[in-house]
Chain A
Amino acid sequence: MKKILLAPMLIMVLCLSGCWDYRELADVTVVTGIAVDKTQNNKYKLTVEGINAQELNNRTAAGYAPSIVYSLSGNSIAELTQKMNIGFSRNLIYSHMRILIISETAAREGITEFIDFLERDREIRDDFRLIISRRTSAAQILKTTYPFQKSSSLKLFKQMDSFRRNWGGNPSVQLNDVVNALTSPAVQPVMEAVTIQGKASKGPSVENMKKVTPDALVVLDSLGIFREGKLIGFLPLNDSRYYVWLRGKLDHTAFSIECRKQNNNFITLRAYNNKSKITGHLEDGKAAFKVKLQLEGFLDSNHCGKDLNKVETYKEYEKLAEKYIEKEMKLSINKVQKKYKIDVYGFGEYLYRNDYKNFKTVEHNWDNVFKNAKVEVDAKVKLRRTALRTKSFISETKAKH
């Protein structure tokens, strides 16, 4: 009996030792970014960037194009991703996708339709960034080369990450954030917008990588905001930073704050440990919120000429910074309230989680209530140190004259 059992077991072991539907590395092209545009005849134009791995490695690079970008038009993104071999030779794999670019026109008509595919597909993973291309087609962004990362999508991904770390002007929107915002009763999605600086037509060539100032360069532009899955406008990068802060994702940033005398001199505050907390309540259909901001920072430049050896100067600068931040944050929120009339910050989410009974009564027209909501900002700045110098040499030179 045992011997009879042994035979099929051994045969099974043979079958288990490999994947019968594997794909060799030489047989695949890795897709690093895809772009979605609108066309007149079809619903979408899908553009795919497949990298030429040899060119990305400095040792093996021979100076050819770092990636191949190819577009197809059709009615569903899901189908087009499988149809790309009309132009590409190898199997495309999408699991390492870094960015998804949506053109401004496509975003204005709505993003919900194809986001479903991205969420559903097992190969596509939620670790890429969603971006809007402003004033240019999404495909053009993918085609613009850059000397360091070479592939446009890899460059953008890195760029956004570095920007977020240093100045914090972009929220690094992932698929999950967008879907959560779309389905949540009280918050609207946002996406970073990029554009091309220079001559877009010169972007898609190796020549563009050979210049000190590239002819075409993809730059971060603004923050696209949505209502019901449709793009309705853009907020400048500065407001984008305040948005990131309110969402609790701000890492590091820097503020230049005008001195008390307002003589066009500034101090620069480099901030870390930024925190934000929203509290609020709802009464008779009117909402009032209090935003508590907290940051630690060090002084990175000082034109104001105050003596930094004194504790009072620290206190004065802290006050100055607090006032500045409170004003700016309030302006930024008011701008969204007045101009776009939608809640991108998640104020409503706070109410939904902490006072759902009242919130239920205004849920259906929350954006209207938000529009008129009173927002107070309270900032707490802790100036910790002044980098490598105490007094500024500027005050010394002034003293001489």
Chain B
Amino acid sequence: MKSKIKIGGLQFFCLIFLFELGSAVLFGMAKEAKQDAWIPILLGIAGGCILFSVYLGLHKRYPDLPLTSYSQQILGKYLGWVIGFGYVVYFSYLAARVLRDFEELLVISQYHNTSLLTLGLYMIASIIYVMFKGFEVFSRLSQICLFLFLFTALPILLLEVSAQLLQPENLLPLLENGWSPVIKALFPSTISVPFGEMVAFTMLLPLVKDYKTAKRFGYLGIIVSGLYLTFRTLMNIAAIGTDARMRSTFPVLTEIGLVEIGDFIQRLDSLILIILVILGFVKIFIFFYCAVLGLGDLFKLKKPDKMIYPLGILIIFTSVFIAPNFNTHLEIGFKIVPIYLHLPFQMAIPIILLLVALIKSKIKKSRTKQPN
């Protein structure tokens, strides 16, 4: 399973782009920075690139191994295994969280009589189906998804402009309360979601064709998606204003609901829902798949595919039982997860791993030198 799959540059780029947009588009980022919300996102790109360079650094040292394997090589068998298992739990938990996000989106916007479980079941079922087809199929699928995305997102952009929805003066005044809300929005929440979530790609980098492709298209993906998110946020603020954005559950839906051209082109909500569900699909798939890979790797399974069904069912139920109501779900997502989960798993552990690996290799070098 490991050695056979090789994905190309464009596919890798599509994966990153769709993955980064995921729930960031849905909830609207950096709301606490008000009309300056686009600044922390722009700055976040740099943070994302730094984090990605850490992941790449690890990948360069262990080009054929996923995170769960090299953590064992770097920190020893037992501690490394525990950390690897931590990542598996982290990825499955995130998959469940993103799933819940999209279940709530669908229930609130369209399917108000449908249970979360039903919606989760359909999403996970289609993901499981693709997963059995293999990761190559998924990465090719992501190319199609990107085109679908572009074909829907661009007309929406045109429609918003022609509906005279955008009021650029909503973006003023610039830096009303100084830099402090911007910095607060930047760290940890904007850096960790979506840029830090690239940590999932530590599991997937071995599947990329070669190191050069991973490096080039990885950075490209982060920068392009970051710029798109900045642009998206600017549009969102210009269209609905800061205040409505702060109060909207899903700002992007509010925004698209305002599009009305000549009593004829209106009610485009379903169009944006299609995009959001596609983005959700990619994001859940990647977290889910990383968890499966991790399990297969930690328990030395010959066929990690066997873990797909149990893990899928676990994710569905976790997504439903994770929080009793939407508000709790959001509160956990914005207050607890970034600090207690994202910070260690996205930043602390990878950086420590890289440092230890560097020190180890130095010691090795000096040892090999000394006898001579």
Contacts and interface: CB of A to CB of B under 8 A. Distances in A.
A122 to B, nearest CB: 6
B39 to A, nearest CB: 16
A126 B257 contact: yes
Nearest to A353: B172
Contacts, number: 37
Contacts of A387: none
A10 interface: no
Contact of A126 (B113, B129, B258): B258
B129 A122 contact: no
A5 B132 CA distance: 10
Contacts of B109: 122
A179 B267 CA distance: 21
Nearest to A351: B173
Interface string B87-114: 0000000000000000000001100111
B244 A180 contact: yes
B244 A176 contact: yes
Contacts of A184: 243
Contacts of B113: 21
Which of B114, B173, B240 has the most chain A CB atoms closer than 10 A to its own CB?
B173
Contacts of B243: 179-180, 183-184
Given A5-B132, A126-B257, A127-B260, A12 B244 contact: no
A354 interface: yes
A125 interface: yes
Interface in B336-359: none
B137 to A, nearest CB: 15
A180 B241 contact: yes
B311 interface: no
A70 interface: no
Contacts of B122: 12, 16
Interface in B235-285: 240-241, 243-244, 257-258, 260, 266-267
A289 interface: no
Nearest to B172: A353
A353 B129 contact: no
A88 interface: no
A16 B172 CA distance: 46
A354 B257 contact: no
Interface of A: 5, 8-9, 12, 16, 21, 122, 125-127, 176, 179-180, 183-184, 352-354, 356
Interface of B: 108-109, 112-114, 122, 125, 129, 132, 169, 172-173, 176, 240-241, 243-244, 257-258, 260, 266-267
Counting from the closest, the 5 A-B pairs by CB-CB distance are: A353-B172, A356-B173, A183-B243, A21-B113, A353-B173
Given A125-B257, A352-B173, 11 more contacts: A5-B129, A5-B132, A8-B125, A21-B114, A125-B267, A126-B257, A126-B258, A127-B260, A176-B240, A176-B244, A354-B172
22 contacts: A5-B129, A8-B125, A9-B125, A9-B129, A12-B122, A12-B125, A16-B122, A21-B114, A122-B108, A122-B112, A125-B257, A176-B244, A176-B258, A180-B244, A183-B243, A184-B243, A352-B173, A353-B169, A353-B172, A353-B173, A354-B173, A356-B173
